[in-house]
Amino acid sequence: MKILLAVDGSAFSDAAVEEVARRPWPEGSEVKVLHVAERPLIPATEPWALPDNYFEEMDRAAREHARMTVEKAVAKLAQSKLESSIEVVEGYPKHVITDEAERWGADLIVLGSHGYRGLTKLLLGSVSQAVASHAHCSVEIVRKHESQ
């Protein structure tokens, strides 16, 4: 079974990693840990307002966050003896997750849900909802329980 595990470093994606790690998967199952680095919006309209190294520092911070996020997930999965690989891609999570699952031939996508509601959901959107609506394979959305 090919499982695409989308992580973003949040407690919600940590819950998804825990869920994948604790289950008894069929022998030979493999997990691809995917982190999608989304380029942040520019905080000012005037380019002169930004420091010279602004974009370099943002890219460096995003790469470091991605590295730490996938390494933490792979370390947790190693305890479950699942074969795992990692991929870090830049883009919009809603699109990259479904595209990568289809390209790789995933049987299942697992991701956490932030549980946004109302106006926040309208403004930020729901990655998990978009993935569930557009994926060509099964999708499991893991919710973080209050006690975790």
Indicate which CATH number applies to the domain containing 88. Answer: 3.40.50.620
**58 part of a folded domain:** yes
What per-residue confidence (pLDDT) applies to 143? 86
148 assigned to some structural domain = no
pLDDT at 115: 58
Q: How far is CA 129 from the centre of its chain?
A: 13
Q: Map the chain to HEC letters.
A: CEEEEEECCCHHHHHHHHHHHHCCCCCCCEEEEEEEECCCCCCCCCHHHCCCCHHHHHHHHHHHHHHHHHHHHHHHHHCCCCEEEEEEEECCHHHHHHHHHHHHCCCEEEEEECCCCHHHHHHHCCHHHHHHHHCCCEEEEEECCCCC
| Domain containing residue 58 | 2-143
- How confident is the model at residue 123, as a pLDDT? 45
**Measuring CA to CA, how many Å separate 93 from each of 47, 78, 118?**
27, 25, 20
Residue 132 in any domain: the answer is yes
Whole-angstrom distance, CA of residue 34 vs CA of residue 102: 13
Query: In this predicted structure, what is the pLDDT of residue 63?
Result: 87
Task: Classify residue 31: in a domain, yes or no.
Answer: yes
Note the pLDDT of residue 47: 58
For residue 77, the model assigns a pLDDT of: 93
pLDDT by 10s per residue, the chain, length 148: 999 999 999 899 999 999 999 999 999 999 999 999 887 666 556 656 667 787 788 888 888 999 999 999 999 999 888 899 999 998 899 999 999 999 999 999 999 986 555 544 444 458 888 899 999 999 999 987 655 4
Model pTM score: 0.85
Q: For residue 72, what pLDDT is reported?
A: 94
**∠ Cα 138 139 144 (to 5°):** 155
Residue of 121, 142, 146, 125 lying closest to 3 (CA atoms): 142
pLDDT at 124: 44
Count of structural domains within the chain: 1
